Homo-oligomer: A and B are copies of this chain.
């Protein structure tokens, strides 16, 4: 790593920036007072012009605006929020921004918030409940009006208690809690749930395999206790049942999510004695791992094994072969979370919105010649 100092040799590098700061005042920040003084009016008038929620005659108006422009006045958001009883802020809490799916949700939240002129704060937890709690606390101090918790989670007692505490605390402060893709521990809690219809999606994609003649289908990526995955597993089972398959036709590998998990689980599966012709992956990253394991095992997709994923991440069409998967419009999930929460403040207690998904057919599924 090189540290290359700029051409400080030019001498007038600082260009009097520091001096200017010292000259104006101690802090260097222009306040509404100075604008008022320069415009020859009171601070109240300046405030009215700038906040724009009170009529001011054009003459004074332009005078104030000119002064503000000349001084490069910038309002202090904290002072504003203090007197205004808070500022319009929405906070999103994610496990990590680097996950393509979560990132899209965050982008949706941010975009929707922006259209309403709200500020959007993003926090990551890395899956650590401790950090989640700290961030929620921070958002309480910040006065966020909307806190959105994103992402599936194992629903244990600690989780239930935690979310109940958030919900009550935020509700008491007049804020709202939205759970995106995770369950409400108690239907009476003042939270809003927005999530995809995981069961329907999994049923549809499993049905797609069944229609192609597959009868021995493995679900790879179960995670007992995680409601999103549990719902997908339920959908998978439901599809099998619909096609008249018996209960023990279902085979669920609880390897959890992530590329590494999929790779490992698929490798083991290939070495085992269980026969199968198709795989439903818990999500696209699991599918990515599975594809690699299959290729490493010397088999071909879809000729030997068909594979489908879940979520349709941006690179799914670049997998080899391009992945047939379930498209979950993640950005729309984020937008919807904000929209629902803002639309109907009284909608809070126990409301639940399910968003639809659809199948994207690419090249990772082939028909079976002789259905067994």
Q: How does the 8 Å CB contact mask read for A185-219 relative to B, with 1 for contact and 0 for none?
A: 00110100000010000000000000000000000
Q: How large is the interface on A (under 10, 10 to 19, 20 to 34, 35 or more residues)?
A: 35 or more
Q: How does the 8 Å CB contact mask read for A97-131 relative to B, with 1 for contact and 0 for none?
A: 11010011011001100000001111110000000
Supposing A4-B352, A173-B29, A190-B14 touch, asked if A76 and B141 sit within 8 A by C-beta, the answer is yes
B169 touches A10 (CB 8 A): no
Can you list 12 residue pairs at the A/B interface with Cβ under 8 Å?
A1-B355, A2-B354, A6-B352, A7-B188, A7-B350, A12-B188, A72-B169, A78-B79, A97-B97, A97-B106, A119-B142, A288-B315
A96's partner among B72, B107, B168, B184 (CB-CB below 8 A) is: B107
A291 to B319, CA, bound (A): 11
Q: How does the 8 Å CB contact mask read for A47-90 relative to B, with 1 for contact and 0 for none?
A: 00000000000000000000000001011111111100111000
Asked whether A292 is an interface residue with its Cβ less than 8 Å from the other chain, the reply is yes
A188 to B355, CA, bound (A): 52
A106 to B106, CA, bound (A): 12
Which residues of the other chain, B, contact A142 by a CB distance below 8 angstroms? 77-78, 119
Asked whether A20 is an interface residue with its Cβ less than 8 Å from the other chain, the reply is yes
Residue of B nearest to A168 (CB): B17
Known: A2-B354, A6-B187, A315-B315. 10 other contacts (CB 8 A): A3-B354, A6-B351, A10-B187, A15-B188, A72-B172, A78-B86, A97-B122, A98-B107, A119-B121, A288-B315
B74 touches A174 (CB 8 A): no
Residue of B nearest to A352 (CB): B4
| Min distance, Cβ A11 to any Cβ of chain B, angstroms | 10
B75 touches A78 (CB 8 A): no
A27's partner among B85, B120, B141 (CB-CB below 8 A) is: B85
Asked whether A140 is an interface residue with its Cβ less than 8 Å from the other chain, the reply is yes
Copies of the chain in the assembly: 2
Residues of A in contact with B (beta carbons under 8 Å apart): 1-8, 10, 12-15, 17, 20-21, 27-29, 72, 74-82, 85-87, 96-98, 100, 103-104, 106-107, 110-111, 119-124, 137-138, 140-143, 168-169, 171-174, 184, 187-188, 190, 197, 259, 288, 291-292, 295, 314-315, 318-320, 349-356
| Min distance, Cβ A182 to any Cβ of chain B, angstroms | 15
A356 touches B1 (CB 8 A): yes
B351 touches A5 (CB 8 A): yes
A187's partner among B7, B14, B123 (CB-CB below 8 A) is: B7
B315 touches A6 (CB 8 A): no
A interface: dominant SS: mixed
For the complex of A and B, the 8 pairs showing the least CB-CB separation, nearest first, are: A6-B350, A320-B320, A6-B187, A77-B141, A78-B81, A78-B78, A122-B122, A78-B82
Which residues of the other chain, B, contact A15 by a CB distance below 8 angstroms? 188
A110 to B78, CA, bound (A): 22
| Min distance, Cβ A301 to any Cβ of chain B, angstroms | 11
